[in-house]
Amino acid sequence: MPKLLQITAIHPDAQARLAAGYELVHAELPQLDAAWLARHGAEIEGVVTGGHLGLPAAVMTGLPRLRVIAINGVGFDKVDLALARSRGVRVTNTPDVLTDDVADLAVGLTLALLRRLPQADAYVRAGRWPAGEMPLATKLTGKRIGIFGLGRIGRAAARRFAGFTDAIAYADVTRQDVPFTWHPDPVALAAGSDVLVICAAASADTRRIIGTPVFEALGPSGVLVNVARGSIVDEPALVAALQAGRLGGAALDVFEDEPNVPAALIGMENVVVTPHIASATNETRRAMGELMIDNIDAVFAGRPIPAAVV
Ligand code: 8YV
């Protein structure tokens, strides 16, 4: 049985299937130092990781027999693809099966933020209802929605938001054949949006692309929703814009330095935070795990890989 290094938890059903077909070595990323690699590195033929973790280049280099980096997620921004390619290491991911969940959460976070659902829940639980009604919230229906990144997830989010409004626009590098207004850049998109939803893939091109000019364009009644990657947003600039009241609010599932969320964000009433749960449903995590193992099986069997990045 090939030996795999597993650095992320996967769905229990997928875990059982993985354990039946492979010898598993479990470790956490911080453990994978030079001493660990010197002891175990030569035995490892595959790595099971998450989109949020990827695999540091130093670890990849310390695994001389590595054949596959299997990501239990769609994002591959934390894997050095050029290095993998140069070493003949395949990189696989789990697209499509998580699209619905991520798009669902984009809508859920938007509603949570505008309708103040976390505060409403806390209000009832704290026994405050008998003393009076909550302050009024903000309506979603009819608002102008801007989608930054119209890939699979962005399109799925746009379809969902189309149930709330006719005013949907997007920014992406290329104009697409869709019934939504195209803007070439995120500042122009933000200027015409009440809600800016980040659905783009993380890359060197999108790193911190959502910064002060975008927040200024969104303005004090605009809000930011991020279900993509923390690295796309300039987090210190976001905190500053929210603190100064130059941006109306934010609903965030992803952060620059997970699992660390800036204390300033946690202290704000007009911010909703969730712990990177966009794909975290039983159904979807099971499907991701199955696809991830299909990918690994294909590599070791020499078959075409269902979802190969490299
Ligand atoms: C997960 C993700 O949090 O798909 C991605 O890129 O970030 C998420 O689905 C993670 O990959 C689960 O392992």
| Cα(249)–Cα(291) distance, integer angstroms | 36
β-pairing verdict for 68-72 and 90-92? parallel
pLDDT at 179: 97
Note the pLDDT tens digit of each residue in 38-96: 999 999 999 999 999 999 999 999 999 999 999 999 999 999 999 999 999 999 999 99
- The pLDDT, as a whole number, for residue 182 is 98
Residue 138 to residues 110, 134, 142, 158, 166: CA-CA distances in angstroms? 10, 12, 11, 20, 18
| Nearest alpha-carbon partner for 195 in 235, 157, 240 | 157
User: Strand ranges (DSSP E) for 11-62?
Assistant: 23-26, 46-50
Query: pLDDT band at residue 287, thresholds of 50, 70 and 90?
Result: very high
Find the Cα–Cα–Cα–Cα dihedral 144, 145, 146, 148, rounded to 10°.
170
Tokens of 293: 């193992």
pLDDT of residue 70: 99
Query: Which DSSP symbol is given to 185?
Result: S
pLDDT average, residue stretch 136-150: 98
Provide the phi-psi class of 116: left if phi over 0, else alpha when psi is between -120 and 50, else beta. left
Catalytic residue among 45, 229, 235, 285: 229
Q: Which helix (H) or strand (E) holds 159?
A: helix 152-161
Name the pLDDT band for 131 (thresholds 50, 70, 90).
very high
Q: How far is CA 247 from CA 196, 241, 270, in A?
A: 11, 5, 10
Q: What pLDDT was estimated at residue 134? A: 97
| Residues β-bridged to residue 55 | 79
Task: Grade residue 111 by pLDDT with cuts at 50, 70 and 90.
Answer: very high
Q: What is the mean pLDDT of residues 283-287?
A: 98
In degrees and rounded to multiples of 5, residue 180 shows phi and psi of: -120, 155
Asked if 52 is an active-site residue, the reply is no
Share of the chain above pLDDT 70, in %: 100
Contact between 225 and 200 under an 8 Å Cβ cutoff? The reply is no
pLDDT of the residue at 92: 99
Q: Is 279 in the pocket of ligand 1 (CB under 6 A)?
A: yes
Do the beta carbons of residue 206 and residue 158 sit within 8 Å? no
Q: 110: pLDDT confidence band, cut at 50, 70 and 90?
A: very high
Q: Would you say the CB of residue 54 lies under 6 angstroms from ligand 1? A: no
Where residue 157 falls among pLDDT bands split at 50, 70, 90?
Answer: very high
| Distance between CA atoms of residues 108 and 110, nearest Å | 5
168 bridge partner residues:
145
Q: pLDDT by residue (tens digit) across 169-192?
A: 999 999 999 999 999 999 999 999
Domain ranges of the chain: 3-95+282-301, 99-273
Task: Of 119, 60, 113, give the one whose Cα is nearest residue 91.
Answer: 60
Residue 212: how many other CB atoms lie within 10 Å = 16
Index of the ligand 1 atom closest to the CA of residue 9: 13
Cβ(75) – ligand 1 distance below 6 Å? yes
* 51 CB within 6 A, ligand 1: yes
pLDDT confidence of residue 218: 98
Q: What is the CATH number of domain 99-273?
A: 3.40.50.720
- Model confidence at 99, pLDDT cuts 50, 70, 90, reads very high
Among the options 258, 283, 285, 286, which is catalytic?
258
Specify the fold of 3-95+282-301: Rossmann fold (3.40.50)
Domains 3-95+282-301 and 99-273 in one fold: yes
Active-site residue, 85 included = no
